[in-house]
Amino acid sequence: MRRKRVLLTTVTLAVTGALTAGVLVTMAPAASAGTTLRAAAAEKGRYFGAAVATGKLSNSTYTTILNREFNSVVAENEMKWDATEPQQGVFNYSGGDRLVSHARANGMSVRGHALLWHQQEPGWAQNMSGSALRSAMINHVTQVATHFKGQIYAWDVVNEAFADGGSGGRRDSNLQRTGNDWIEAAFRAARAADPGAKLCYNDYNTDGVNAKSTGIYNMVRDFKSRGVPIDCVGFQSHLGTTLASDYQANLQRFADLGVDVQITELDVMTGGNQANIFGAVTRACMNVSRCTGITVWGVRDCDSWRGSDNALLFDCNGNKKPAYDSVLNALNAGTGIPNPTTTPPNPTTTPPNPTTPPPGGAGCSATVSANSWTGGFVATVKVTAGSGGTRGWSVSVTLPGGTSVTGTWSATASGSSGTVRFANVDYNGQLAAGQVTEFGFQGNGTAPTQTPTCTAS
């Protein structure tokens, strides 16, 4: 992202919105007030995080603030493609591992940033295209997500893939030129590699309802309808001197699609309105029950990529700024998340009424489709319940010789080559008559083409 982007937010913070938020602040019962950002956020079932440059972890002013105030971290650069795979097939996890280890020692969760981004591609990938790049990028996703498996709360699987301006379409890049399905292929590979991580799409200039955010909204809606494994959307929120009046409404419309939302790279231009904007963004998150946390993009003003904008919550000496108090007050006044940890990966496949399972035994059918590249593929299997519905199902897929399954999502696999049997997981076995669910797998070799057999129970 270029520096000038932060000036692009033009809609003035609506006075009515600010007043409404102010009323909420006054009326909200303050059960107990957290005295740090991390404590105040945790009381509401959320995290409050910071982007970290691991080279600064040896600076005691920096780490004192980091450990006291934040319960989530994200690597500012160390988990990006150029850092983690500087040569093709040669991986370097030293910076990322250092951050994960710091987080574990200090009770912090970790956001992963970012598996695929058109910027900070290593030189070797910048020079690739077509199926060779598709293969390399899916391998990158698989390797990195596998390395950090179990350590990451949420991955930015794809970062900044939509164009600025009024088109609402994709940004041109060598990644995009491998085919429009590159984003879903990346999400499927990430799910296969680390089924426990929430998988996010992350972007900027999405701070209200606009052409870009609507393009992303339409993609997320499409992914949810087709069972592409997406769990969250990140709103970077690199902000200028105003905030869109529909900032919260925009978060809410994404949440209403059945994904979590997170503020992922918050920083705000210095000036008279800075504290107000930090507070308004925090209130917006607190007012959206699926907004699970906020990350600021750095600790002190001098740590920020925005240089003289003084865009963060602490000054260069480590003192709290008025923006800090504004955020802390908004966290303490906010509403807690009703059920922070129970979201299944794909809630859309939950049957309409789980307490009354339909009668089993009347069969099901399955079809398979695949995105392939040289040496590998990601397959999606669509399961359709017969007239009697299902209590559970299993699907047998016959693989071509020399092909093996390397990862599965939304099903459990028995075997990895020849005929592989996939069975439902707990949240997608019960299907009403005619209801459809999807699962998927990734493999080495050649994608299957035979129609699978489906057995209902």
Q: Rule CB under 6 A: is residue 78 a binding residue for ligand G3I?
A: no
Residue 10 φ/ψ region, left for φ over 0, alpha for ψ in the -120 to 50 degree band, beta for the rest: alpha
Report CA dihedral (146, 148, 154, 159) to the nearest 10 degrees: -70
Closest approach, Cβ 98 to ligand G3I, in A, equals 15
Site string for ligand G3I, 130-169 (x = CB under 6 A): -----------------------------x----------
69 binds ligand G3I (CB under 6 A): no
Nearest residue to 185 via CA among 127, 142, 225? 142
Q: Tokens 């939950």, residue?
A: 350
Residue with Cβ nearer ligand G3I (121 or 231): 121
208-237 residues near ligand G3I, rule: CB under 6 A:
236
By CB under 6 A, residue 265 contacts ligand G3I: yes
- Say how many CA atoms lie within 13 Å of 133 toward its Cβ: 21
Distance CA 53, CA 37 (A): 20
Please report how close the Cβ of residue 111 comes to ligand G3I at its closest, in angstroms.
11
**In this structure, are residues 287 and 315 in contact, taking their beta carbons and an 8 Å threshold?**
no
> Could you tell me which of 394, 398, 400, 430 has the C-alpha nearest to residue 412?
394
For ligand G3I, the binding residue among 119, 374, 450, 451 (CB under 6 A) is 119
| DSSP 8-class letter at 430 | -
CB closer to ligand G3I out of 205 and 408: 205
Task: Tell me: does residue 57 bind ligand G3I (CB under 6 A).
Answer: no
Name the token pair of 7. Answer: 């000036």
User: How many residues sit close enough to ligand G3I to count as binding (CB under 6 A)?
Assistant: 10
Q: Work out how close the CB of 77 gets to ligand G3I at its nearest, in angstroms, rounded to a whole number.
A: 5
User: 132, 305, 365, 415: which one contacts ligand G3I (CB under 6 A)?
Assistant: 305
Least distance between ligand G3I and beta carbon 121 (Å)? 11
Residue 362 engages ligand G3I in binding (rule: CB under 6 A): no
Distance in Å, CB of 238 to ligand G3I, minimum: 7
Q: Examine residue 1 and tell whether it contacts ligand G3I (CB under 6 A).
A: yes
Q: Which of 69, 76, 78, 85 binds ligand G3I (CB under 6 A)?
A: 76
Instruction: Pick the binder of ligand G3I from 106, 120, 135, 252 (CB under 6 A).
Output: 120
Closest CA to 25 of 325, 417, 359: 325
Which one-letter amino acid corresponds to residue 14?
A: A
Give the residue with the Cβ less far from ligand G3I, 113 or 191.
113
Question: Which residues partner with 376 through β-bridges?
Answer: 373, 444
CB nearer to ligand G3I: pick between 162 and 204: 204
Residue whose CB is less far from ligand G3I, 122 or 392: 122
Site string for ligand G3I, 233-252 (x = CB under 6 A): ---x----------------
- Among residues 245, 322, 232, 233, which one has the least CA distance to residue 280? 245
Closest CA to 270 of 230, 220, 304: 304
- Cβ-closest position to ligand G3I: 305
* Burial per residue of 60-99, b for 16 or more beta-carbon CB atoms within 10 angstroms, e otherwise: eebbebbbebbbbbbbbbbbbbbbbbeeeeeeebebbbbb
Q: Nearest 10 degrees: CA dihedral of 52, 56, 58, 64?
A: -60
Closest approach, Cβ 253 to ligand G3I, in A, equals 22
C-alpha to C-alpha distance for 158 and 220, rounded to whole angstroms: 12
Nearer residue to ligand G3I within complex by CB, 295 or 437: 295
Of the pair 75, 447, the CB lying nearest ligand G3I is at 75
Tell me how far, at minimum, the Cβ of 52 lies from ligand G3I, in Å: 11
Catalytic residue among 69, 85, 184, 265: 265
In a 13 Å sphere around the CA of 94, the CA atoms on its Cβ side amount to 5
C-beta of 77 vs 455, nearer to ligand G3I: 77
The dihedral formed by the CA atoms of 413, 197, 220 and 49, expressed in degrees to the nearest 10: 180
121 among known catalytic residues: no
Question: Is position 77 an interface residue for ligand G3I (rule: CB under 6 A)?
Answer: yes
Could you give the residue numbers annotated as active site?
265
**Which residues sit at the interface with ligand G3I, rule CB under 6 A?**
1, 76-77, 119-120, 159, 204, 236, 265, 305
